[in-house]
Structure 1
Amino acid sequence: MVKIAPSILSADFANLARDIQLVEKSGADYLHIDVMDGQFVPNITFGPSMVSAIRPVTELVLDVHLMIEEPERFISDFIEAGSDIITIHVESTQHIHRALQLINQGGAKAGIVINPGTPVTHIESVLELVDLVLVMTVNPGFGGQKFIPSCLKKVEELVKLREINGDTFEIEIDGGVDDQTAVACVAAGADVLVAGSYVYNSTNVAERIEKLKKAAANG
């Protein structure tokens, strides 16, 4: 079963608890939290205190995506705040192996991310350390961008590597996911779909999540 992970980047921040509980009641599986530092990406969003504030209001898996320079500096803070999954970019640190070890040692699930311009070969050596691989299908930093179809080739590569090596990591896609692109994502082998603006820029969030689940089933 493909999992749906609404991104709060597109939620109403003035009514965040309401918007989180709405997607939880509507059948979401993960809650995707995009953390940006204004350096690794050209935008600033949340810190560990946001994760701490969200943790008591939902039982959803908190899927925390760190788009920050040298994420190893903050991993312990995000674990303490209540993150279930912490996903870091291979492009963001010179010490990716150590950073992933820190996540594992802290008791959270570890994820690794590749940007549209980064090949799968850049993460092959650490796949044994991760529970999730996130393939960006837009350039990170802002919501509402157009899906880059060529990135799905990486998903297919990851599926093959997972089979060859006997790994169990999930493959997640983030960027431009809607009920149309979801079909291609799942056909390529995606296990988790992150959707922000498609879900929250709607008057009927439950309907949008249901459409994603149906599209995933068709994939």
Structure 2
Amino acid sequence: MTALSASVYAADPFHLAEEIEAVLANVESLHLDVMDGVFAPEYGLTARTIEALSESTPKPLDVHLMVAEPRQPAVRFSELGVRSIAIHVEATEDFKELSRIVRSNGSKAYAALRHTTPVAVLEKLADQLDGCLFLTAPAGGGAFDQHAFTRLAQRPAGLYTVVDGKIDPGHFKRLDQMQVDLAVVGAALFSAGDAEVRSEAFSRMLGESGSKERGVSDASPSSLRR
């Protein structure tokens, strides 16, 4: 079943610790956006924040590098022991080398794609990655991409898949039908009321969607794929 990941960048920066604590019981992981104002027109979470989270949270951490020069941050964050690092194929001509470094430090290497990048590029990188991340909205913000589901259908079979960008509950059923592994939710989780209540509801909705589609009897949050 599709699991739920919380995009920390969307949380209230003045109450970051409280916002994270509110959703921890109901999410599979925390998604950490690193942006440089160049690759994406925004600035994301700092290395200091991510390091503090790596030392304090029990949940897996997934770093998403939306930066023009990914080598140094890929090395730094993989050395922190995060679960995965998503590196944009548009930002480097040497994904193979960065993947090797990330994997050697014990993190998984994901290929991240802008919403306009041809999906076929994943076929060429199949032996160099552990999964893929599809941006379903423009990097740094924007509306949900109307072609997102068509693009997802083109990905290599069996490839661990993360979707990130303006995901909301209206997408959950379709994502589960397409066997997407992880749905990153930001604004819909943190910007519309009580994050704890919403995270519990979203996790339950994903579980119910998966049980209906696949006949799974246990749809509790603990049954979501780790």
Both structures adopt the same fold (TM-score exceeding 0.5): yes
* Deviation for aligned residue 1:16: 1.4
CA contact (8 A) 1:7 1:32 kept: yes
1:14 Cα offset (Å):
2.0
Q: 8 Å contact 1:6–1:195 — kept in the other structure?
A: yes
TM-score (norm. length: structure 2):
0.86
C-alpha contact 1:17 1:57 (8 A) present in aligned 2: no
| Structure 1 residue runs of 4 or more that deviate by more than 3 Å after TM superposition | none
Measure, in 2, the Cα distance between the counterparts of 1:207 and 1:51: 25
**Residue aligning to 2:152:** 155
Q: Deviations over 1:54-82 (max 9, x none)?
A: 12231111010000112112222112334
Q: Decide whether the 8 Å contact of 2:27 with 2:203 is kept in 1.
A: no
User: Do the aligned partners of 1:110 and 1:131 also contact (CA within 8 Å) in 2?
Assistant: yes
Give the Å deviation of 1:44: 1.2
1:79 matches 2:78: yes
2:156 aligned with 1:126: no
SS in 2 for 1:149: coil
Question: Could you tell me how far apart the structure 2 residues matched to 1:200 and 1:18 are?
Answer: 11
Distance 2:17 2:9 in 1: 13
Q: How far apart are the structure 1 equivalents of 2:58 and 2:146?
A: 33
Specify the alignment match of 2:15 in structure 1: 15
Task: State the 1:20 CA deviation.
Answer: 1.3
Alignment partner for residue 196 of structure 1, among 186, 193, 196? 186
Q: Using the TM superposition, give the Cα deviation of residue 28 of structure 1 relative to its aligned residue in structure 2, in angstroms.
A: 0.3
Find the aligned partners of 1:28 and 1:186 in 2 and give their Cα distance. 16
1:218 to 195, 209, 222: 209
Conserved in 1, the CA contact under 8 Å of 2:81 and 2:106? no
Q: Quick check: 1:51–1:83 contact (8 Å CA) kept in 2?
A: no
Map 1:3-42 onto structure 2 (within 5 A).
3-25=3-25, 27-42=26-41
Unaligned runs of 5+ in 2: 211-226
In structure 2, the partner of 1:62 is: 61
TM-score by length of 1: 0.88
Residue identity over aligned pairs, in percent, reads 27
Work out whether residues 2 and 213 of structure 1, in 8 Å CA contact, stay in contact via their aligned partners in 2: no
SS in 2 for 1:120: coil
Q: Deviations along 1:5-52, whole A, 9 cap, x unmatched?
A: 110111111221221121112x10010000000111111122322211
Per-residue CA deviation, residues 76-96 of structure 1 (Å, 9 max, x unaligned), is 211233422111100011111
| Residues in 2 aligned to 1:178 and 1:117: alpha-carbon distance in whole angstroms | 20
CA distance in 1, matches of 2:200, 2:117: 32
* CA distance in 2 between partners of 1:205 and 1:74 (Å): 29
Give the counterpart letter for 1:204 in structure 2. D
Structure 2: how far apart are the matches of 1:47 and 1:213?
Answer: 27
Residue of structure 2 equivalent to 1:95: 94
1:214 is displaced (CA, Å) by: 4.0
2:18 & 2:180 partners in 1: Cα distance?
Answer: 28
- Give the distance between the partners of 1:135 and 1:109, measured in 2 at CA: 16
Residue 108 of structure 1, CA deviation: 0.6
Q: Structure 1: 5+ residue runs without aligned partners?
A: 164-168
